[in-house]
Structure 1
Amino acid sequence: MNRQHSKTGSLTVTVFVFPGVRLLDVTGPIEVFASANEFGGHYRVQIASEDGAEVITSAGTRLSADLSVDDVREPCDVLVIPGGPEWETLIKDDAFLDVVRQLNEKARCTASVCTGAFLLAAAGLLDGRRATTHWRHSRQLALRFPSVQVESDDIFVRDGHMMTSAGVSAGIDLSLALVEDHYGAEVARAVAKDMVVFMQRPGGQSQFSVRSRAPHTRHEMLRGVLDAVAENPGAHHTLPAMARRAGVSVRHVTRLFYEEVGTTPARYVEQVRLEAAQVMLETGDDPMPVVAQRTGFGSPESLRRAFVRHLGVTPGAFRASFRTTGAGTNDSVSEAVAP
């Protein structure tokens, strides 16, 4: 998006709210734009509900609206479409989707937060576009809307005038990107520091996803192989070793992996080992060589390469981010918000 607004021009942000909306999906972006106004930005934020009445969020908090959707007559620079736990009901409500389309027509940029992507997709606004949503729902988005190219690991995705972001707090990341578009990196950096958040957080959504269980398979011989890998990721799991365990040829076990697991044996083993390493780093204090040995990576360097390749962060950074919130320590937060 080109920075086409002057630094003195006022930009209008319209946030659409509805009953059951997730509170942080709304307040996260609003805080970013409000904070930007303290550092040279000029945003005017307005909250719109379908009829102009207050709504009750999924947290039970009441949110007042500034105006109704029909009162949004002038084009806005940014339209924020938040999500909510009841998205499955909302995407079947044709009248509600018409409201989303109506608002989009008056927006220079439309941005969704979390499951708000489902509302845009159901309204047909993401057809043929790249998009993302909360990692827990990305598969559903892809299945329900095959015309949408789902980028499941991205924190936010921009495709033309449409932007989508991952779960809840990712709305902050998306909003910071918009501030940078509108007023430059210095203003966005000042907002990030003020809110004590990453200007650009390391890694993607993979680092937040739930541990994957061994996939279901119809073949008992393959089930034994999958269970063996899950039970002892650090063991000798070469392709010939897995074939011997299954009692079939290397070619046959490779074919079974493709058909039943959807990947190669080597990639499956690496994924299980990666998840085992994540658990060790989250819950223990073992040094990196021990983590690497016990999870089958062999060396800290191999462990580091796997983390960077799949998660976008080093094992050390992962441990630091997920072991504690840092409460009660005197460590500086300057690195977290540094450019």
Structure 2
Amino acid sequence: MANGLGRLRTPYQVMMVSPGQHAISCRPGMLLHSTHALERLTGPLDTLIVSGGFGHAEAAANPVIVAHVQRLARISRRVASVCTGAYVLAAAGLLDGKRATTHWSFADTFAARYPGVDVDPGPIFIRDGKISTAAGITSALDLTLAFIEEDHGVELARQVSRMLVTYLQRPGNQAQMSMFTAAPPPGHDAVRRVVDHVNANLAGDVSTVALAAIAGVTPRHLTRLFLTHMGQTPGRFVREVRVAAAAHLIVSTSLPLAEVATRCGLASTETLRVAFTRRYGIPPSQYRARHRGAHSNRG
């Protein structure tokens, strides 16, 4: 799409590469035909992208594949992975000492297997030097649009986004999951009651003591339940839900930031700014401006 819309002097050329140029069997039966053999591919290359999938663990444990990824990375201007393709980059030593992401459901396992990688399961993609890692599936589109913008400017990236009828364009530090896409509340009745109460009463008293009373347990026991069923303390859960709700209001309304903070149970605009910057990497005002700009340029 970029080639056609941009009338590029040096158009992108896409190559599908696999060991031995063998076809790639995907679930539940799709067959991808390769255009080049991994072993015979030479450079220089512009962008090397390693895709994830159900065979990522085997690929990362295959010394031949890993060695060729190391070789090709040295002759590539930039290197990227999609989803669990990050395992292969990590096995090749390309992520050592770098900040990286992968699909949130694999993040814990990924971090345990590669302790030298600074794993952040939050953003949809991360760029650290010449290495980029995307969370998976649709985040690959966001990373690709970022590449097009880097290569040819924001206007071409916007044109491509409009033609693809995709979001224009999510910043890399946007969260993989939000309060609207996260997994449903856990099966434990007390924890579910607390989760429902927090979502409905963000501006109220949602301290651990107050939530424990709603659950009918002690604060200490509620913390244990949340760690077991939610993977975090009640206090951290409340903070994350409040900031996610604030992000939704910032993008979808014109409310002053002070009002957003009040509605979401945050003490002040400064509290909102600190919490928001910690979570999304940019202050609320910049987040609003960026998303407003994206909405105003949609096709």
What is the aligned-residue RMSD (CA, Å)? 4.0
In 2, the alpha carbon distance for the partners of 1:56 and 1:81 equals 16
Instruction: Note if contact 1:192-1:337 (Cα within 8 Å) is conserved in structure 2.
Output: no
Look up the SS of the partner of 1:197 in the other structure.
coil
Q: What residue number does 2:184 align with?
A: 211
Q: How big is the shift at 1:304? A: 9.1
In 2, the alpha carbon distance for the partners of 1:231 and 1:188 equals 40
1:229 aligns with 2:194: yes
Q: What residue number does 2:158 align with?
A: 189
Instruction: Note if contact 1:229-1:269 (Cα within 8 Å) is conserved in structure 2.
Output: no
In 1, the alpha carbon distance for the partners of 2:110 and 2:78 equals 21
Structure 2's unaligned 5+ residue stretches are 246-252, 254-259, 267-271, 285-293
In 2, the alpha carbon distance for the partners of 1:335 and 1:255 equals 40
1:1-339 → structure 2 map (5 Å cutoff): 34-41=1-8, 42-201=11-170, 203-207=174-178, 208-211=181-184, 213=186, 226=191, 229-230=194-195, 232-233=197-198, 234=200, 237-241=206-210, 245-247=216-218, 264-269=233-238, 302-303=263-264, 309=276, 335=295, 338=298
Given residue 62 of structure 1, which amino acid in structure 2 is its aligned partner? Answer: L
In 1, the alpha carbon distance for the partners of 2:196 and 2:39 equals 58
Structure having the higher helix fraction is 2
User: Larger Rg: 1 or 2?
Assistant: 1
Given residue 82 of structure 2, which amino acid in structure 1 is its aligned partner? Answer: V
Query: What is the TM-score with the length of structure 2 in the denominator?
Result: 0.69
- State, as a whole percentage, how many aligned pairs show the same letter: 29
Q: What residue number does 1:292 align with?
A: none
Q: How big is the shift at 1:121? A: 1.1
Instruction: Note if contact 2:208-2:235 (Cα within 8 Å) is conserved in structure 1.
Output: yes
Structure 1's unaligned 5+ residue stretches are 1-33, 216-222, 278-287, 289-298, 315-333
Q: What residue number does 1:4 align with?
A: none
Q: How big is the shift at 1:124? A: 1.6
Q: How big is the shift at 1:107? A: 1.2
Instruction: Note if contact 2:186-2:192 (Cα within 8 Å) is conserved in structure 1.
Output: no
Q: What residue number does 2:290 align with?
A: none
Instruction: Note if contact 2:222-2:234 (Cα within 8 Å) is conserved in structure 1.
Output: yes
Instruction: Note if contact 1:214-1:230 (Cα within 8 Å) is conserved in structure 2.
Output: no
In 2, the alpha carbon distance for the partners of 1:148 and 1:124 equals 9
In 2, the alpha carbon distance for the partners of 1:60 and 1:259 equals 39
In 1, the alpha carbon distance for the partners of 2:35 and 2:211 equals 63
Instruction: Note if contact 1:138-1:152 (Cα within 8 Å) is conserved in structure 2.
Output: yes
In 1, the alpha carbon distance for the partners of 2:82 and 2:298 equals 25
Instruction: Note if contact 2:185-2:195 (Cα within 8 Å) is conserved in structure 1.
Output: no
Given residue 27 of structure 2, which amino acid in structure 1 is its aligned partner? Answer: S
Cα deviation digits, residues 255-277 of structure 1 (max 9, x gap): 868987775543334557899x8
User: 1:132 and 1:36, CA in 2 relative to 1: closer, same or farther beyond 3 A?
Assistant: farther
